[in-house]
Structure 1
Amino acid sequence: MMSRLRGAAPETPPLPAAAGKRQRAAIAIVEGGRILLIHRIKPGKDYYVLPGGGIKRRETAAIACVRETREETGLNVHLGGTLCVLDAKDRVEHVFLARSHAGELRLGGPELAKMGPDNQYRLEWLDREQLQRIKLKPKGLLPHCLALLEHAAGR
């Protein structure tokens, strides 16, 4: 389920388009027994995602993950390995672990620019109990995040 890599993220070649699927890179940042998520609230929808975003052409998933994390959260991260790769019907999600992070947590990038009364983005730290009560996207991500929090707690 979880693989730990020492040092920086491996150098991987840019990803080919997976049969027309969008490619997304995301980060799992754990601190004090909680994981950082983005709470998305818009008319008729209320869900959470890990910080991250689309992988640009000729960009590796690891580089996209670091770039997107900095844009969305203001945090600089060092990657510690891969948590999982989820293949959903319309996209492939590459989820990395943060080995360390620094900076001031603040919403930024396109998310901040698109904020409005009907389109909310909120950075939130959730513990294991809270994580089990929310809608986390993509669907298959929840068991990986729960296992990560258990591992961080030494269970």
Structure 2
Amino acid sequence: MRHRGSVIIIEEGKVCLIKRVKNSEVYYVFPGGGIEEGETPREAAKREAFEELGVHVSIEDLLDTVSFHGTQYFFSAEIIGGAFGTGHAIEFTKNNNGLYEPMWLNIEALCNLDVRPKEMAQKIVNMYI
């Protein structure tokens, strides 16, 4: 069981997601990852945004937590620097982990895609639409 910190970044009606293709399965996740020893969920979310997206973020409110193989913390965040799409997380380079593709999608698209966790996707739709 591993706890995770994740960011929800929304700009101009679009939400940042990572498209995953693994074992012929296509789904989308919010940028984030495991909380390291001595790190807070907020710090992990900030670090993971840089590693996965290549951007520095300002962490804002805790939007929600979801229990799934540990606690997942979801923070609203704003990009304050860096270059989107230049992430260098180790999972991006491991062939056995499949495709990781950072992208912007219209919030409405969350209703028709396999976004994980579904609880957060629905919460964002409810907040913005």
Same fold? TM cut 0.5: yes
**How far 1:110 sits from its partner (Å)?**
1.1
Structure having the larger proportion of residues in strand: 2
Report SS of the residue matched to 2:46: helix
Report SS of the residue matched to 2:116: coil
Are the aligned partners of 1:115 and 1:121 in contact in 2 as well (CA < 8 Å)? no
**How far 1:22 sits from its partner (Å)?**
1.4
Are the aligned partners of 1:37 and 1:50 in contact in 2 as well (CA < 8 Å)? yes
Name the amino acid aligned to 1:121: Y
Report SS of the residue matched to 1:29: strand
Distance 1:135 1:103, change over 3 A: same
Are the aligned partners of 2:20 and 2:28 in contact in 1 as well (CA < 8 Å)? yes
Instruction: State which of 113, 120, 125 in structure 1 corresponds to 2:99.
Output: 120
Name the larger-Rg structure: 1
Give the corresponding residue for 2:42.
62
Report SS of the residue matched to 1:22: coil
Instruction: Work out the CA distance in 1 between the residues paired with 2:80 and 2:64.
Output: 19
Number of residue pairs aligned between Structure 1 and Structure 2? 128
Give the corresponding residue for 2:33.
53
1:42 aligns with 2:22: yes
Give the corresponding residue for 1:141.
120
Output the TM-score relative to the length of structure 2. Answer: 0.90
Q: Percent identity between the aligned chains?
A: 30
Name the amino acid aligned to 1:120: L
Structure having the larger proportion of residues in helix: 2
**How far 1:68 sits from its partner (Å)?**
0.7
Instruction: State which of 25, 29, 44 in structure 1 corresponds to 2:9.
Output: 29
Unaligned runs of 5+ in 2: none
Instruction: Work out the CA distance in 2 between the residues paired with 1:105 and 1:39.
Output: 14
Output the TM-score relative to the length of structure 1. Answer: 0.76
